[in-house]
Structure 1
Amino acid sequence: MTALLDEHPGLGVECVLRELHIASSTYYRWRRAEREPCERKCRDVELTEQIRQIHADSGGIYGSPRVHAVLKREGIHVGRKRVERLMREDGLAGVSPRRKGFTRRDPKATLAPDLVNRDFTARRIACGSQTSR
Protein backbone atom coordinates (compact mmCIF):
# COMPACT_ATOMS: atom_id res chain seq x y z
CA MET A 1 0.00 0.00 0.00
CA THR A 2 2.65 2.48 0.97
CA ALA A 3 4.73 1.38 -2.03
CA LEU A 4 1.86 2.30 -4.37
CA LEU A 5 1.78 5.84 -3.05
CA ASP A 6 5.59 6.05 -3.10
CA GLU A 7 5.69 5.01 -6.77
CA HIS A 8 2.95 7.47 -7.74
CA PRO A 9 3.51 10.68 -5.75
CA GLY A 10 1.01 12.55 -7.92
CA LEU A 11 -1.89 10.56 -6.52
CA GLY A 12 -3.56 12.08 -3.52
CA VAL A 13 -3.25 9.98 -0.40
CA GLU A 14 -6.77 10.62 0.79
CA CYS A 15 -8.31 9.80 -2.63
CA VAL A 16 -6.48 6.48 -2.90
CA LEU A 17 -7.35 5.52 0.66
CA ARG A 18 -11.00 6.33 0.08
CA GLU A 19 -11.08 4.16 -3.08
CA LEU A 20 -9.41 1.24 -1.29
CA HIS A 21 -11.64 1.65 1.80
CA ILE A 22 -8.66 2.07 4.11
CA ALA A 23 -8.79 4.45 7.05
CA SER A 24 -6.23 7.24 6.88
CA SER A 25 -5.15 6.45 10.45
CA THR A 26 -4.19 2.95 9.28
CA TYR A 27 -2.04 4.37 6.47
CA TYR A 28 -0.23 6.77 8.76
CA ARG A 29 0.30 4.01 11.34
CA TRP A 30 1.97 1.94 8.57
CA ARG A 31 4.18 4.90 7.68
CA ARG A 32 5.19 5.43 11.31
CA ALA A 33 5.98 1.71 11.70
CA GLU A 34 8.37 1.97 8.73
CA ARG A 35 10.27 4.84 10.33
CA GLU A 36 10.30 3.69 13.93
CA PRO A 37 9.84 -0.03 14.53
CA CYS A 38 7.85 -1.14 17.54
CA GLU A 39 9.48 -2.16 20.81
CA ARG A 40 9.01 -5.86 20.07
CA LYS A 41 10.92 -5.67 16.77
CA CYS A 42 13.74 -3.73 18.46
CA ARG A 43 13.88 -6.39 21.19
CA ASP A 44 13.90 -9.13 18.51
CA VAL A 45 16.99 -7.54 16.94
CA GLU A 46 18.76 -7.52 20.33
CA LEU A 47 17.74 -11.11 21.07
CA THR A 48 18.88 -12.26 17.65
CA GLU A 49 22.34 -10.85 18.33
CA GLN A 50 22.49 -12.70 21.66
CA ILE A 51 21.23 -15.90 20.03
CA ARG A 52 23.87 -15.62 17.30
CA GLN A 53 26.58 -15.22 19.94
CA ILE A 54 25.38 -18.24 21.96
CA HIS A 55 25.09 -20.31 18.79
CA ALA A 56 28.60 -19.31 17.69
CA ASP A 57 30.06 -20.00 21.16
CA SER A 58 28.64 -23.54 20.98
CA GLY A 59 30.40 -24.11 17.67
CA GLY A 60 27.07 -24.09 15.82
CA ILE A 61 25.84 -27.12 17.74
CA TYR A 62 23.15 -25.67 20.01
CA GLY A 63 19.57 -25.72 18.77
CA SER A 64 16.68 -23.68 20.11
CA PRO A 65 16.12 -25.71 23.33
CA ARG A 66 19.72 -25.28 24.47
CA VAL A 67 19.90 -21.64 23.36
CA HIS A 68 16.68 -21.00 25.30
CA ALA A 69 18.20 -22.69 28.37
CA VAL A 70 21.34 -20.53 28.16
CA LEU A 71 19.25 -17.36 27.85
CA LYS A 72 17.18 -18.45 30.85
CA ARG A 73 20.36 -19.13 32.86
CA GLU A 74 21.59 -15.63 31.98
CA GLY A 75 18.35 -14.20 33.37
CA ILE A 76 16.83 -13.24 30.02
CA HIS A 77 13.09 -13.92 30.07
CA VAL A 78 12.05 -15.06 26.59
CA GLY A 79 9.71 -17.73 25.28
CA ARG A 80 10.93 -20.94 23.68
CA LYS A 81 8.83 -20.40 20.55
CA ARG A 82 10.25 -16.90 20.13
CA VAL A 83 13.79 -18.30 20.25
CA GLU A 84 12.76 -20.90 17.64
CA ARG A 85 11.27 -18.22 15.38
CA LEU A 86 14.28 -15.91 15.65
CA MET A 87 16.70 -18.75 14.94
CA ARG A 88 14.64 -19.88 11.95
CA GLU A 89 14.45 -16.33 10.56
CA ASP A 90 18.21 -15.92 10.99
CA GLY A 91 18.98 -19.29 9.40
CA LEU A 92 20.48 -20.79 12.56
CA ALA A 93 20.00 -24.47 13.33
CA GLY A 94 21.52 -26.88 15.76
CA VAL A 95 23.12 -30.20 14.94
CA SER A 96 20.76 -33.15 15.28
CA PRO A 97 21.97 -36.13 17.27
CA ARG A 98 23.23 -39.05 15.27
CA ARG A 99 20.67 -41.72 14.69
CA LYS A 100 21.65 -45.34 14.72
CA GLY A 101 20.94 -46.57 11.26
CA PHE A 102 21.23 -49.89 9.57
CA THR A 103 23.90 -51.28 7.31
CA ARG A 104 23.11 -51.50 3.63
CA ARG A 105 24.68 -54.36 1.73
CA ASP A 106 26.73 -53.48 -1.31
CA PRO A 107 24.87 -55.02 -4.27
CA LYS A 108 28.18 -55.59 -6.11
CA ALA A 109 29.76 -57.51 -3.23
CA THR A 110 30.11 -61.28 -3.46
CA LEU A 111 28.12 -63.30 -0.95
CA ALA A 112 29.91 -65.36 1.67
CA PRO A 113 29.82 -69.12 1.09
CA ASP A 114 27.28 -71.19 3.05
CA LEU A 115 29.60 -73.34 5.16
CA VAL A 116 26.87 -75.26 7.05
CA ASN A 117 24.69 -76.09 4.02
CA ARG A 118 21.53 -74.59 5.45
CA ASP A 119 18.22 -75.57 3.89
CA PHE A 120 15.36 -73.18 4.59
CA THR A 121 12.70 -74.85 2.48
CA ALA A 122 9.55 -75.69 4.42
CA ARG A 123 7.90 -79.07 4.17
CA ARG A 124 4.41 -79.02 2.80
CA ILE A 125 1.72 -80.91 4.68
CA ALA A 126 -1.30 -82.03 2.72
CA CYS A 127 -4.66 -81.21 4.28
CA GLY A 128 -6.07 -84.77 4.30
CA SER A 129 -2.92 -86.61 5.29
CA GLN A 130 -2.54 -85.27 8.82
CA THR A 131 -2.19 -87.95 11.46
CA SER A 132 -4.25 -87.80 14.64
CA ARG A 133 -2.52 -87.75 17.95
Structure 2
Amino acid sequence: MTGRRRFISEHRDLYGVQRLCRVLDVSASGFYRCIVTSVAWAARKATDENLSGRIEQIHGESNGAYGVPRITRELRERHGVVNHKQVARLMRERHRAGQHLQRTDRTMIADKSVPPTPDPVGRVFAATAPDVRWRGDITYLPVGGSWTYLATVIDMHSRRVVGWSLAEHMRSDLVIDAVGSAADARGGGVRGVVLHSDRGTKQYTSAAFAEGCRAHGRRRSMGRDGPATTTPSRNPSSPR
Protein backbone atom coordinates (compact mmCIF):
# COMPACT_ATOMS: atom_id res chain seq x y z
CA MET A 1 0.00 0.00 0.00
CA THR A 2 1.42 3.40 -1.02
CA GLY A 3 1.84 6.29 1.38
CA ARG A 4 -1.24 8.14 0.12
CA ARG A 5 -3.44 5.06 0.26
CA ARG A 6 -2.16 4.29 3.73
CA PHE A 7 -3.02 7.84 4.81
CA ILE A 8 -6.54 7.42 3.40
CA SER A 9 -6.99 4.13 5.20
CA GLU A 10 -5.85 5.61 8.51
CA HIS A 11 -8.05 8.73 8.25
CA ARG A 12 -11.10 7.54 6.31
CA ASP A 13 -13.34 7.43 9.39
CA LEU A 14 -12.58 11.08 10.08
CA TYR A 15 -12.76 12.59 6.57
CA GLY A 16 -14.38 9.96 4.39
CA VAL A 17 -12.82 7.92 1.56
CA GLN A 18 -14.27 9.88 -1.37
CA ARG A 19 -13.13 13.24 -0.04
CA LEU A 20 -9.61 12.01 0.75
CA CYS A 21 -9.28 10.31 -2.65
CA ARG A 22 -10.33 13.52 -4.41
CA VAL A 23 -7.93 15.72 -2.43
CA LEU A 24 -4.99 13.31 -2.79
CA ASP A 25 -5.78 12.47 -6.42
CA VAL A 26 -6.18 8.75 -5.77
CA SER A 27 -8.66 6.51 -7.58
CA ALA A 28 -11.36 5.39 -5.14
CA SER A 29 -11.81 2.08 -6.96
CA GLY A 30 -8.05 1.52 -6.87
CA PHE A 31 -8.01 2.28 -3.16
CA TYR A 32 -10.73 -0.29 -2.46
CA ARG A 33 -8.92 -2.91 -4.57
CA CYS A 34 -5.81 -2.25 -2.53
CA ILE A 35 -7.77 -2.73 0.70
CA VAL A 36 -9.15 -6.07 -0.50
CA THR A 37 -5.66 -7.20 -1.54
CA SER A 38 -4.22 -6.16 1.81
CA VAL A 39 -6.90 -8.06 3.71
CA ALA A 40 -6.32 -11.18 1.60
CA TRP A 41 -2.56 -10.91 2.14
CA ALA A 42 -3.02 -10.54 5.90
CA ALA A 43 -5.34 -13.55 5.99
CA ARG A 44 -2.84 -15.66 4.04
CA LYS A 45 -0.03 -14.57 6.34
CA ALA A 46 -2.08 -15.51 9.40
CA THR A 47 -2.89 -18.91 7.87
CA ASP A 48 0.78 -19.48 7.07
CA GLU A 49 1.84 -18.55 10.59
CA ASN A 50 -0.72 -20.89 12.13
CA LEU A 51 0.28 -23.78 9.87
CA SER A 52 3.98 -23.05 10.41
CA GLY A 53 3.49 -23.39 14.15
CA ARG A 54 1.91 -26.81 13.68
CA ILE A 55 4.70 -27.86 11.32
CA GLU A 56 7.34 -26.74 13.82
CA GLN A 57 5.62 -28.76 16.55
CA ILE A 58 5.54 -31.99 14.53
CA HIS A 59 9.06 -31.43 13.19
CA GLY A 60 10.28 -30.94 16.74
CA GLU A 61 8.45 -34.02 18.02
CA SER A 62 10.29 -36.07 15.40
CA ASN A 63 13.61 -34.44 16.33
CA GLY A 64 13.93 -33.14 12.79
CA ALA A 65 13.46 -36.54 11.14
CA TYR A 66 10.11 -35.96 9.40
CA GLY A 67 10.03 -34.45 5.91
CA VAL A 68 7.15 -33.02 3.87
CA PRO A 69 5.25 -36.30 3.25
CA ARG A 70 5.26 -37.46 6.88
CA ILE A 71 4.47 -34.00 8.29
CA THR A 72 1.63 -33.58 5.78
CA ARG A 73 0.19 -36.92 6.86
CA GLU A 74 0.46 -36.00 10.54
CA LEU A 75 -1.22 -32.64 9.90
CA ARG A 76 -4.12 -34.31 8.08
CA GLU A 77 -4.58 -36.83 10.86
CA ARG A 78 -4.57 -34.16 13.56
CA HIS A 79 -6.19 -31.14 11.89
CA GLY A 80 -7.90 -32.22 8.66
CA VAL A 81 -7.26 -31.20 5.06
CA VAL A 82 -3.96 -29.49 4.29
CA ASN A 83 -2.18 -28.87 0.99
CA HIS A 84 1.15 -30.67 0.74
CA LYS A 85 2.50 -27.94 -1.59
CA GLN A 86 1.80 -25.35 1.10
CA VAL A 87 3.59 -27.53 3.68
CA ALA A 88 6.57 -27.88 1.31
CA ARG A 89 6.69 -24.11 0.71
CA LEU A 90 6.59 -23.24 4.41
CA MET A 91 9.22 -25.82 5.30
CA ARG A 92 11.45 -24.54 2.51
CA GLU A 93 11.01 -20.91 3.61
CA ARG A 94 11.89 -21.83 7.19
CA HIS A 95 14.76 -24.13 6.23
CA ARG A 96 13.13 -27.25 7.65
CA ALA A 97 13.74 -30.64 6.07
CA GLY A 98 13.52 -34.30 7.00
CA GLN A 99 16.43 -36.70 7.11
CA HIS A 100 17.07 -38.93 4.13
CA LEU A 101 17.87 -42.38 5.41
CA GLN A 102 19.57 -45.05 3.35
CA ARG A 103 17.89 -48.36 3.94
CA THR A 104 19.02 -51.88 3.31
CA ASP A 105 17.80 -54.86 5.35
CA ARG A 106 14.10 -55.30 6.05
CA THR A 107 13.98 -55.68 9.83
CA MET A 108 10.66 -54.17 10.92
CA ILE A 109 8.13 -56.58 9.43
CA ALA A 110 5.27 -57.40 11.79
CA ASP A 111 5.78 -60.48 13.97
CA LYS A 112 3.15 -62.89 12.67
CA SER A 113 3.50 -65.16 15.73
CA VAL A 114 1.89 -62.58 18.02
CA PRO A 115 -1.94 -62.63 18.15
CA PRO A 116 -3.68 -59.75 16.33
CA THR A 117 -4.22 -56.58 18.31
CA PRO A 118 -7.47 -54.57 17.98
CA ASP A 119 -7.60 -50.95 16.84
CA PRO A 120 -9.86 -49.00 19.24
CA VAL A 121 -8.28 -45.73 18.06
CA GLY A 122 -9.60 -46.21 14.52
CA ARG A 123 -7.52 -43.43 12.91
CA VAL A 124 -8.90 -40.85 15.39
CA PHE A 125 -5.62 -39.53 16.78
CA ALA A 126 -7.13 -37.40 19.53
CA ALA A 127 -8.23 -37.82 23.13
CA THR A 128 -10.63 -36.00 25.44
CA ALA A 129 -8.19 -35.93 28.35
CA PRO A 130 -4.53 -36.63 29.15
CA ASP A 131 -3.36 -40.24 29.51
CA VAL A 132 -6.33 -41.70 27.67
CA ARG A 133 -4.52 -42.45 24.42
CA TRP A 134 -0.81 -42.54 23.72
CA ARG A 135 0.98 -43.09 20.45
CA GLY A 136 4.32 -44.86 20.05
CA ASP A 137 6.82 -44.36 17.26
CA ILE A 138 10.49 -45.00 16.39
CA THR A 139 12.81 -42.56 14.60
CA TYR A 140 16.32 -43.03 13.16
CA LEU A 141 18.85 -40.37 14.17
CA PRO A 142 22.25 -40.01 12.48
CA VAL A 143 24.91 -39.54 15.17
CA GLY A 144 28.51 -39.30 14.02
CA GLY A 145 29.07 -42.08 11.51
CA SER A 146 26.36 -44.44 12.78
CA TRP A 147 22.69 -44.52 13.82
CA THR A 148 20.89 -44.04 17.10
CA TYR A 149 17.24 -45.00 17.56
CA LEU A 150 14.68 -42.85 19.36
CA ALA A 151 11.41 -44.31 20.62
CA THR A 152 8.82 -41.74 21.68
CA VAL A 153 5.43 -41.79 23.38
CA ILE A 154 3.10 -38.92 22.50
CA ASP A 155 -0.07 -38.09 24.41
CA MET A 156 -2.85 -37.70 21.83
CA HIS A 157 -4.58 -35.08 23.99
CA SER A 158 -1.74 -32.58 24.35
CA ARG A 159 0.28 -33.75 21.29
CA ARG A 160 3.35 -33.64 23.50
CA VAL A 161 6.08 -36.21 24.08
CA VAL A 162 5.53 -37.73 27.52
CA GLY A 163 8.18 -40.45 27.35
CA TRP A 164 11.18 -41.47 25.28
CA SER A 165 14.08 -43.87 25.04
CA LEU A 166 17.35 -43.63 23.12
CA ALA A 167 19.55 -46.60 22.19
CA GLU A 168 21.98 -47.94 19.61
CA HIS A 169 19.76 -50.98 19.00
CA MET A 170 16.19 -51.66 17.93
CA ARG A 171 15.31 -54.46 20.33
CA SER A 172 11.96 -54.51 22.11
CA ASP A 173 13.64 -52.93 25.15
CA LEU A 174 13.76 -49.67 23.19
CA VAL A 175 9.97 -49.24 23.11
CA ILE A 176 9.42 -50.85 26.51
CA ASP A 177 11.77 -48.31 28.10
CA ALA A 178 10.00 -45.44 26.30
CA VAL A 179 6.62 -46.50 27.68
CA GLY A 180 8.15 -46.92 31.13
CA SER A 181 9.55 -43.40 30.85
CA ALA A 182 6.09 -42.05 30.03
CA ALA A 183 4.52 -43.90 32.94
CA ASP A 184 7.16 -42.56 35.33
CA ALA A 185 6.57 -39.02 34.06
CA ARG A 186 2.86 -39.45 34.85
CA GLY A 187 3.51 -40.76 38.33
CA GLY A 188 2.79 -44.37 37.40
CA GLY A 189 -0.99 -43.97 37.48
CA VAL A 190 -1.76 -44.74 33.85
CA ARG A 191 -3.52 -48.10 34.03
CA GLY A 192 -6.03 -48.38 31.21
CA VAL A 193 -4.24 -46.00 28.85
CA VAL A 194 -4.47 -47.06 25.18
CA LEU A 195 -1.06 -47.27 23.52
CA HIS A 196 -1.35 -47.07 19.73
CA SER A 197 1.31 -48.01 17.18
CA ASP A 198 1.68 -49.16 13.57
CA ARG A 199 1.06 -52.85 13.04
CA GLY A 200 4.09 -53.09 10.76
CA THR A 201 6.65 -52.32 13.49
CA LYS A 202 7.86 -55.54 15.07
CA GLN A 203 9.04 -53.96 18.34
CA TYR A 204 5.40 -53.14 19.18
CA THR A 205 4.17 -56.58 18.11
CA SER A 206 6.75 -58.50 20.14
CA ALA A 207 5.71 -60.85 22.92
CA ALA A 208 7.91 -58.96 25.41
CA PHE A 209 6.15 -55.67 24.70
CA ALA A 210 2.71 -57.30 24.86
CA GLU A 211 3.53 -58.84 28.23
CA GLY A 212 4.86 -55.55 29.57
CA CYS A 213 1.66 -53.75 28.60
CA ARG A 214 -0.52 -56.47 30.10
CA ALA A 215 1.40 -56.50 33.38
CA HIS A 216 1.00 -52.74 33.82
CA GLY A 217 -2.61 -52.48 32.67
CA ARG A 218 -1.94 -50.73 29.37
CA ARG A 219 -4.13 -51.56 26.41
CA ARG A 220 -2.40 -52.06 23.07
CA SER A 221 -3.86 -50.66 19.85
CA MET A 222 -2.54 -51.20 16.35
CA GLY A 223 -3.65 -49.50 13.16
CA ARG A 224 -3.22 -50.57 9.60
CA ASP A 225 0.20 -51.81 8.58
CA GLY A 226 2.69 -49.03 8.10
CA PRO A 227 5.16 -49.22 5.23
CA ALA A 228 7.72 -51.98 5.59
CA THR A 229 10.58 -49.97 7.02
CA THR A 230 14.19 -51.05 7.09
CA THR A 231 17.35 -50.74 9.07
CA PRO A 232 19.54 -47.96 7.65
CA SER A 233 23.02 -48.57 6.36
CA ARG A 234 25.95 -48.02 8.70
CA ASN A 235 26.79 -44.59 7.27
CA PRO A 236 23.83 -42.20 7.41
CA SER A 237 23.37 -39.83 4.52
CA SER A 238 23.21 -36.12 5.03
CA PRO A 239 19.76 -34.56 5.70
CA ARG A 240 17.70 -33.47 2.75
Q: TM-score, normalised by structure 1?
A: 0.51
Deviations 1:16-74 (A, max 9, x none): 65xxxxx6433333245446723x43222211110011111111111110100111221
- Within 1, Cα distance between the matches of 2:76 and 2:4? 44
| 1:79 to partner: Cα distance | 1.4
Matched, 1:95 2:94: no
Matched, 1:66 2:70: yes
Matched, 1:78 2:82: yes
| 1:94 to partner: Cα distance | 1.4
Aligned length: 90
1:3: which partner in 2?
A: 2
- Within 1, Cα distance between the matches of 2:65 and 2:34? 39
1:41: which partner in 2?
A: 45
- Structure 2: any 5+ residue segments left out of the alignment? 9-19, 105-240
Q: TM-score, normalised by structure 2?
A: 0.31
- Within 2, Cα distance between the matches of 1:88 and 1:33? 25
1:53: which partner in 2?
A: 57
- Within 2, Cα distance between the matches of 1:79 and 1:35? 22
Cα distance, 1:35–1:71 mapped onto 2, change above 3 Å: closer
If asked which structure has higher relative contact order (CA below 8 Å, sep 6+), I would say 2
Cα distance, 1:26–1:73 mapped onto 2, change above 3 Å: same
- Are the counterparts in 1 of residues 66 and 98 from structure 2 also a CA contact under 8 Å? yes
1:74 partner SS: helix
Q: Percent same amino acid at aligned positions?
A: 32
- Structure with greater strand percent: 2
- Structure with greater helix percent: 1
- Within 2, Cα distance between the matches of 1:88 and 1:16? 42
Q: Which structure has the greater CA radius of gyration?
A: 1
2:88 partner SS: helix
